Amino acid sequence: MTTLERAEAAEHAMSQELDRVVVKSVIYTSGERDPRVPAPRPPDSGKLYMMGQDPRLPQMPARPTLMDFFKYRFGPANHLLQSARLARKNGLSEEIILACLLHDTGQYLCYADHGYWGAQIVEPYVSERVAFAIRYHQALRFYPDQSVGYSYPEGYLLMFGTDYVPLPHVQAAYTYARNHKWYMDARMVTTNDLYSFDPNVQVDIDEFTDVIGRHFKQPKEGLGNDNTPVSHMWRSMVVPDAPL
Ligand SMILES: [Fe+2]
Ligand SMILES: [Fe+2]
């Protein structure tokens, strides 16, 4: 069995135990299969499809806050928490600390272009500068800036190969951000983007209650229930495998 087959078999066994059938979103399976071919449907088991709360995931409160997403969906969030702590230790502004705390949250939705996803999901709730820093950290990570001691990440050499050249849209985003008045905000995210975080250091999200309270406009209805252009994205993180 290949790794994928083993994972699918385990998942099938798990879904047999659930009352309802789980269908994975196309975005999770495209690439493992030709997206033009209809996705395999679960065998007709007489069960209903899983809608609403996913029993495999921790239950979210009815009005989820950003803290709730950190507690129940963004784990393990050590990378984000340690980056934010480093930014604070380095004396950066609260907005940059928040940008560091949120910089990779887009990856809980989609790996590709995570800077853009990440900036978009928080855009209605943070300042433009914070969203800018999150969006452009993705491109800036590929480009050194010796003026602030930022080198090309060694990890990227290992992960992407020594001859990897960023895609054209990443090159264009870098040029745009490099000439922008908020360039340093995005750059500061990259200098505090701890690549190899210490697994023994545990940082609690409560350490950033003050920063979140001052710079993240938490909607009283809860993230996902507030009818903004990105509410559906938060709802999708609450129930990532809802079939509709
Ligand atoms: Fe990132
Ligand atoms: Fe990161």
Cα(124)–Cα(128) distance, rounded to whole angstroms?
Answer: 9
**Cα of 79 to ligand 2 centre, how many Å?**
7
The one-digit pLDDT tens for each residue of the chain (244 residues) are 666 677 666 655 555 556 777 777 777 777 888 878 876 666 666 788 888 888 899 999 999 999 999 999 997 899 999 999 999 999 999 999 999 999 999 999 988 999 999 999 999 999 999 999 999 999 999 999 999 999 999 999 999 999 999 999 999 999 999 999 999 999 999 999 986 567 788 899 999 999 999 999 999 999 999 999 999 999 999 998 888 8
Per-residue burial over 61-87, b if 16 or more Cβ lie within 10 Å, else e, is eeebbbbbbbbbbbeebebbbbbbbbb
Residue 126 CB coordination number (10 Å): 22
**Cα of 47 to ligand 1 centre, how many Å?**
40
**Cα of 147 to ligand 2 centre, how many Å?**
20
**Cα of 192 to ligand 1 centre, how many Å?**
11
